[in-house]
Amino acid sequence: MPPTKTSRVEEEHQDEDQAPCDPWTYCCQSDSESCPTPAAAAAAANDSEDDPEDLTEEGLKARNAVLAVSKSVVALAASIVGADGDPPSTLACTGTVVSHEDSATWILTSATLIRKQGINTEVHEASIAKIEVLLHNKKVVNGQLLMYDLQYNVAVVSIDIQANLPVVVLSDLPESYFLTPSPVVAIARKFESQSLQMKRGNTCRTVSDLDCNELMISTCQIEQVFIGGLLIDLEEKIVGMNFIDDETTPFLPVQVVRGCLTHFKKFREIKQPWLGIRGRALHVLELAKLEKICHRCPKPHSGILVDMVLIQPPSLKPTIPEASRANCEGVEVGDILNQLDGVVLHSPGQLTAMLLDKMVVAMDTRKPVVIKAFVRRPRDGMTFDADLKVMERPPGECDLLFKNRWTLPQPEMYYWVPAETGEWVDESD
């Protein structure tokens, strides 16, 4: 039904007042205040922040946080058989032990490990990709690609059960956790030296250039080997999974990573939730856009500004009847999704994690799940409730429009040297 003005007392939808901080304060900071430039971050990386032997209070906390998960951190290498007699090229990155399933140990990492360079939608065939895993005890074992998802760029590699490898538990953080910058540590294990690596930095209020709205940014100046590794804070909380871009260090928030792992365990794939909506968090918007919103309606404490809505694409009607029945209950571009089922929204990552959880229910019941959204419309000051249907994303046009397109820089490649040396060398130059 179309939205109408509501006379309800606004305090009924003000649960966000209970948040420990007002995200609007951070909305109105300049970009330079929330996240340093790449040059500034690189300069900062040269000081004691990246020194694992830093014995300051913060340095010791960072080191202890890394050591707390070190036995679960592994190095992975995917050797791709070369063509025309070329030696196999090997991409190395980091993974984390996340589960023991029957006779196998699961390692969560980035799908970058097996992606074809320059092709966003393809991975190397298992027959030409040899995956090896370096454990914390220097033991190297063979790995098998079990599952992957190119939407969120995550993958699970399976190895024979290793009882001495502790599992890292992925737990959701408080919804407002990312509203203020906090010190974090990126973790990796390097195949060549077999050593644990760490890079310190801070989370910051900015968006990634990669086409994935859920991604957030840290100032940790990492190298390729950190891809797929953990980002943790100084209280030993898991913050997310690291990726790499030309000038920034994006990471996938832990609640999305946790949702992906839940789907892998239950469905052996990620069942992509479909709302037909994409948007950005208010606290990362430009000041000019925020000013327009503030002039037209009382300042929202938090929410997702809708910047894309796709409903009933004509070309899909003949083949995707579910898509034609899907509706956003009057939600339009420019609206603000303030709450879902009474939970205040702070970021696209939080929204995606909620939808992934709802998708589990939808698959179990074999029918769409309805969630109630509280929506603000800055254009005319209207507020209304909308019943949004969560269903599995249809293939075809919808899928292509909303699919995350990862454009990753050319990674460093490693090559095996003669077998008698048995060492790794970087010949990427």
CATH number of the domain residue 160 falls in: 2.40.10.120
Task: Quote the domain boundaries for residue 191.
Answer: 35-264+404-424
Judge whether 340 lies within some domain. yes
Instruction: Please give the Cα distance from 168 to 336 (Å, whole number).
Output: 35
Could you tell me if residue 399 is inside a domain?
no
Q: In degrees to the nearest 10, what's the CA dihedral of 255, 258, 262, 267?
A: 90
Euclidean distance between CA atoms 350 and 344, whole angstroms: 10
Answer yes or no: do 278 and 414 share one domain: no
Does some domain include residue 5?
A: no
Same domain, 57 and 76: yes
- Phi/psi for 180 (5° steps) reads -120, 140
232 and 324 co-located in one domain: no
What residues contact 257, with CB distance under 8 A and at least 6 apart?
108, 152, 154, 170, 240, 241
Q: What's the number of domains the chain is made of?
A: 2
| C-alpha distances out from residue 409 to 136, 209, 210, 360, 382, Å | 28, 12, 11, 34, 44
Q: Are residues 115 and 231 in the same domain?
A: yes
Question: Is 194 in the same domain as 110?
Answer: yes
Query: Do 69 and 215 share a domain, yes or no?
Result: yes
250 falls within a domain: yes
Q: pLDDT tens digits for 322-364?
A: 443 445 778 889 999 999 999 999 999 999 999 999 999 999 9
Q: Are residue 198 and residue 68 in the same domain, yes or no?
A: yes
Asked if 30 and 287 touch (Cβ cutoff 8 Å), the reply is yes
In a domain, 4, yes or no: no
- The radius of gyration of the chain's CA atoms, rounded to the nearest angstrom, is 22
Do 129 and 199 share a structural domain? yes
CATH of the domain at 383: 2.30.42.10
pLDDT in tens, the chain (429 residues): 444 444 333 344 444 444 444 544 444 444 444 565 544 544 444 444 566 667 788 889 999 999 999 999 999 999 887 655 566 678 899 999 999 998 899 999 999 999 887 776 788 887 888 999 999 999 999 999 999 998 899 999 999 988 789 999 999 988 778 888 899 999 999 988 889 999 999 998 877 877 788 999 999 999 999 999 999 999 999 999 999 887 789 999 999 999 999 999 999 999 988 887 888 888 888 888 888 888 877 766 689 999 888 754 444 443 333 443 445 778 889 999 999 999 999 999 999 999 999 999 999 998 889 999 999 998 888 899 999 988 887 765 455 556 666 665 565 555 544 334 444 444 444
CA atoms of 414 and 420, how far apart (whole Å): 17
Do 84 and 150 lie in one domain? The reply is yes
Whether 329 is in a domain gets the answer yes
117 and 254 fall within a common domain: yes
- 310 in the same domain as 168: no
Q: What angle do CA 233, 239, 240 make, to 5 degrees?
A: 135
Q: Distance (Å, rounded) from C-alpha 281 to C-alpha 285?
A: 7
| pTM as predicted | 0.81
156 and 139 in a common domain = yes
Instruction: Answer whether 244's CB lies under 8 Å from 409's CB.
Output: yes
Q: Please identify which residue in the block is written with the tokens 């760029």.
A: 153
